[in-house]
Amino acid sequence: MAADPLFELLLRMGDNTLILAQRLSQWCGHGPTLEEDIALANIALDLTGHTQLWLGLAGEVEGAGRDADGLAFHRDVWDFRNTLLVEQPNGDFGQTIMRQYLFDAWHVLQLEALRESSNPQVAEIAEKAIKEVSYHQERSSETVIGLGDGTEESHARMQAALDLLLPYVGEFFANDAVDEIMKEAGIAPLPDSLRSAFDEQITPVMQAATLTVPDTDFAHSGGKSGRQHSEHLGHILPQMQWLQRAYPDASW
Amino acid sequence: MQAGSTITLGDRSLSLEQIWQRLDEVPDPEIPAISLVDLGIIRDVRWEDGTLEVTVSPTYSGCPATSMIKLEIIKALTELGIPRIDLKRQLSPPWTTDWISERGRKRLEDYGIAPPQPAGGPQHCPHCRAEELERISQFGSTPCKAQWRCKTCLEPFDYFKCI
């Protein structure tokens, strides 16, 4: 392992929030109703705020003079450590909401554990972020239920979204060498230790939504290690980075 | 509010109390009805070796008003003649709506924004005070607000979310 494991952990946190925020921002002006449009933009804004905190700290830990903007705008696909789930296309509104709920359910548990981190800076970011993320989960779970247990059309779309996205969930709970070192140092939980709480969170919501959780433990992987992102990240980055690439350090 | 420590600037003296008073005149950039002190985001003001240290807790992580708030604080304190100012960001304990002052809550309501309630929704309509309300959206025009509607006067209104 080349990089400092704490730096890797912070990139994983910050890249997840960054890429999901970028995806959600693509809905701005296109939401099915004004309220939903505003909600998605607000969630994207919260996640962008968390990105500044996580990547800001990552830059400090790295000590190479890169700040949050430097890390967000001047890295390439292979440097990103977000999970594959968050880079998946928005699809229809139901697919976006399903992706959001699956992410929120993990995010709340991860932040709850990080609040107890032995690293005080990690703990205080988690303590700040969890207030906002709990609110995200409240809304995304209610919306999954509303659409799943809605019309025949909305139910079918939500079931299709769940079938498509569930195989991307396993990556959040797969341990690797970075995780083992972070657990040993008391900085972060082992990913697989959160799995049963995750299942307990989503099971009643999927039941209330009349959705069937696919019986598979197949999991796509390669995002959080940076080994192999899906092609989609390669399309997100130029859109997100082009201005800083064309005019380095431009500000307004 | 803290008082006591006074510093001499040229031919006049400036107490911490006067600094708090000045900060209490700085409106929140997005909700100008209340001041930064009412909002509870100014956590501490103190002198350290001739530099005024102001500790600020952000409201929402991604709130775009944060950089404007910093600018407004520096502008107000510079106008008081304070030569060196250091703004410190304090994440922990995280800002909570419990830190909004009583006067701030009253001003929000007079402005048409229902103040935060631990029950998770507004107590009554800020316009007609009726209590039959419905939520339109969990999010609103700024990160700190949600949209509600009064079922009596039918007016929509902003609710300051409780966090």
Q: Residue A18: list chain B partners with CB under 8 A.
A: none
The residue in chain B having the minimum alpha-carbon distance to the alpha carbon of residue A138 is B138
Q: Residue B163: list chain A partners with CB under 8 A.
A: 131-132, 135
| Average pLDDT score over chain A | 96
Q: How confident is the model at residue B1 (pLDDT cuts 50, 70, 90)?
A: very low
The H or E element that residue A87 is part of is: helix A84-87
Torsion of CA B116, B117, B120, B125, to 10 degrees: -80
pLDDT value for A58: 98
> Do residue A38 and residue B137 have CB atoms under 8 angstroms apart?
yes
Min distance B152 CA to chain A CA atoms (Å): 22
Closest to B143 (Cβ–Cβ): which among A35, A45, A128?
A: A45
> Do residue A49 and residue B139 have CB atoms under 8 angstroms apart?
no
Q: What order of strands is seen across the sheet that includes strand B145-150?
A: B113-114, B156-160, B145-150, B133-137
Q: How confident is the model at residue B6 (pLDDT cuts 50, 70, 90)?
A: confident
The residue in chain A having the minimum alpha-carbon distance to the alpha carbon of residue B120 is A135
Structure tokens that stand for A118 in this block: 């032995």
Q: Residue B58: list chain A partners with CB under 8 A.
A: 49, 128
Q: What is the mean pLDDT of residues B19-45?
A: 96
The residue in chain A having the minimum alpha-carbon distance to the alpha carbon of residue B148 is A35
Closest to A46 (Cβ–Cβ): which among B60, B141, B147?
A: B60
pLDDT tens digits for range A119-148: 999 999 999 999 999 999 999 999 999 999
pLDDT value for B2: 38
Structure tokens that stand for A60 in this block: 């400090």
- CA geometry: angle A178, A183, A186, nearest 5 deg: 130
Pairing outcome for strands B12-15 and B6-9: antiparallel
Number of CB atoms found within 10 A of residue B120's CB: 12
pLDDT tens digits for range A197-233: 999 999 999 999 999 999 988 999 999 999 999 999 9
Structure tokens that stand for A192 in this block: 């697989």
**Quick one: DSSP state of residue A65?**
S
CATH class of A5-246: mainly alpha
| Average pLDDT score over chain B | 92
pLDDT value for A2: 58
The residue in chain B having the minimum alpha-carbon distance to the alpha carbon of residue A123 is B92
Closest to B62 (Cβ–Cβ): which among A39, A45, A139?
A: A45
Min distance B11 CA to chain A CA atoms (Å): 39
Start-to-end Cα distance in chain A: 38
ipTM above 0.90, yes or no: no
- CA geometry: angle A39, A164, A47, nearest 5 deg: 30
High-pLDDT (> 70) share of chain B, % = 98
Dihedrals φ, ψ of A97, to 5°? -70, -40
pLDDT tens digits for range B71-121: 999 999 999 999 999 999 999 999 999 999 999 999 999 999 999 998 889
- A184 burial level (CB within 10 Å; 0-12, 13-18, 19+): exposed
Q: Evaluate the CA torsion angle B153, B154, B155, B158 in order and state its sign.
A: positive
- In chain A, which ranges are E strands? none
Structure tokens that stand for B159 in this block: 């609710």
The correct CATH number of B6-97 out of 3.40.50.300, 3.30.300.130, 3.40.50.10610, 2.60.40.4070 is: 3.30.300.130
Min distance A226 CA to chain B CA atoms (Å): 26
Omega of the bond leading into A214 within 30 degrees of 0 (cis)? no
Q: Where are the domains of chain B?
A: 6-97, 112-160
Torsion of CA B162, A42, A16, A111, to 10 degrees: 0
Q: Where are the domains of chain A?
A: 5-246
pLDDT tens digits for range A29-77: 999 999 899 999 999 999 999 999 999 999 999 999 999 999 999 999 9
Closest to A35 (Cβ–Cβ): which among B62, B92, B136?
A: B136
Q: Which of B58, B66, B142 shows the shortest CA–CA distance to B108?
A: B142
Closest to B137 (Cβ–Cβ): which among A35, A53, A131?
A: A35
A-B contacts at Cβ under 8 angstroms:
65
The upper half-sphere exposure of residue A232, i.e. CA atoms within 13 Å in the direction of its Cβ, equals 16
